[in-house]
A and B are shown apart, each in its own frame.
Chain A
């Protein structure tokens, strides 16, 4: 009798758990076209050294999740970076366009896999990052407006962009590309 009660929620788990899906808004290629219209792209494979990781983390205050940079040089000038940040349970992939001087030219959310918080796709919210300079250490609710109900996503995307700006200052700027 009691065993049946115990099994109720688990049975329901199996019955009600629906198929998984992630909302893919843009592929890498689509984001490149959107952020650098008409440009061609040259991938620049870079693996961060331990020293660079430490320097980036010190400068941005954000952990480096992946030592392998996904960076492309745009033929029209500037960089296209694909990165991801921690979501509530999944990662949130995003793309960042930097101009020739390393300032933010645009931000795109590539995929969103969480139930809440997709308001970070709002163009007005993303526009706050445009013009942010290399090495800027951005803070939610100070430099970047928060979106109520999407706090974790706002915080982590803000942190992720700080990390990329630090990465430009410490690594890409010096890379000679």
Chain B
């Protein structure tokens, strides 16, 4: 999920945040899009039916709930990552996912990721720096970088060891393999879930270990970094079909296979999460802001931390993730 900035100019200059006409067009489009987005959200709140599914309660944090045997689900994710310390930055990550319940404890998913990026004078010292999925690109320091690309194909498996409904603590293990242009990543999670108050209050914690291999063409895949994340979520079903909560994310990057040696970056995010679950449909949204708690390490890129926030190419100030999904099969 990460990749370090590989290029910055010998002579670094902090950007004065210029906005060119193209950028203005882009920003106008974003504002128009935001208004439309808001209208759609309102519409969704008004007209979405009472339905249901087995679905994620959080945008980023996983729970141990899985699809029952033989059921399947289609999910669409949209993650928007925006705002750096300077310049303009907008990264739109999309995922289309198909999930299948192999049995009541084991779920398989196949999905594809595709992203768009706009970057201008956004990196350390005001250098245009693409977002992490586009880190194979090296635009000029003053380029208006725009790109839309297929990123990867992913296979994910989740096995539940303990159900939170019948045991003191829900426990599941997760493993994912991502293969894309010039990179291969495996993401491994331990998922813990504890429920309270008739399962209407859900606390979840994920520990993620994700080594990532990348190559410079031509060349072999070599370890680029290892991500170690700790994600926490708490949510409460405040009325039928509706859950509201918060998520806290701690992301760390290491320049080794371990998660205790050669730390490069660390960032902390916090924000609200809301979830609607219907009979065969769900929608989940989380907004998080990076907290000013980042710290410098010996290998942190100079200029990456501004105002206590890490702005290396896998970090930004805000993230919004929206997931929608439809389940198939179920009640006769």
Contact = CB atoms under 8 A, between A and B. Distances in A.
B198 interface: yes
Interface string B59-102: 00000000011010000111010000000001010100000000
Nearest to A155: B165
A150 B165 CA distance: 10
A88 B237 CA distance: 10
A149 B69 contact: yes
Interface stretch (B9-17, B35-43, B184-192): B35-43
Contact of B324 (A10, A62, A156): A10
A149 B326 CA distance: 18
B44 A14 contact: yes
A114 B198 contact: no
Contact of A11 (B40, B53, B116): B40
B50 A113 contact: yes
Contact of A6 (B43, B80, B148, B330): B80
Given A62-B198, A115-B280, A116-B330, A90 B52 contact: yes
A5 B116 contact: yes
B78 A115 contact: no
Contacts of B53: 115
Interface in A108-134: 112-118
Contact of B51 (A5, A9, A20): A20
In the complex, which of the residues A87, A148, A150, A156 has the most CB atoms of chain B within 10 Å of its own CB atom?
A148
A90 B33 CA distance: 33
A17 B281 contact: yes
B34 interface: yes
Nearest to A22: B50
Interface residues of A, number: 50
B94 to A, nearest CB: 6
Contacts of B34: 3
Nearest to B103: A148
A9 B41 CA distance: 11
Interface string A1-32: 11111111111111011111111000000000
Contact of B146 (A1, A14, A22, A88): A1
Contacts of A62: 198
Interface in B281-327: 281, 283, 322-324, 326-327
Interface in B250-296: 277-281, 283
A58 interface: no
A68 to B, nearest CB: 18
A77 B218 CA distance: 85
Nearest to A65: B198
Given A115-B331, A151-B166, A2 B68 contact: no
A72 interface: no
Nearest to B327: A115
B209 interface: no
B198 A156 contact: yes
A86 interface: yes
A115 B50 contact: no
Contacts of A85: 198
Contact of B90 (A2, A23, A117): A2
A5 B94 contact: yes
A16 B52 contact: no
Nearest to A86: B198
A71 to B, nearest CB: 21
A8 B94 contact: yes
Contacts of B78: 5-6, 8-10
A152 interface: yes
Given A5-B92, A86-B199, A151-B166, A12 B76 contact: yes
A91 B240 contact: yes
Which 10 residue pairs of A and B lie closest in terms of their CB atoms, listed nearest first?
A: A3-B33, A20-B49, A149-B68, A115-B330, A20-B50, A9-B76, A2-B92, A89-B277, A5-B92, A148-B104
Interface of A: 1-14, 16-23, 62-63, 65, 85-91, 112-118, 140-141, 146, 148-152, 155-156, 159
Given A20-B50, A86-B237, 4 more contacts: A13-B44, A23-B331, A112-B331, A115-B71
25 contacts: A2-B33, A3-B29, A3-B32, A6-B37, A9-B77, A9-B324, A13-B40, A13-B44, A13-B324, A14-B43, A16-B326, A18-B51, A19-B49, A20-B49, A21-B49, A90-B50, A112-B331, A114-B330, A115-B329, A115-B330, A115-B331, A149-B104, A150-B68, A151-B165, A156-B198
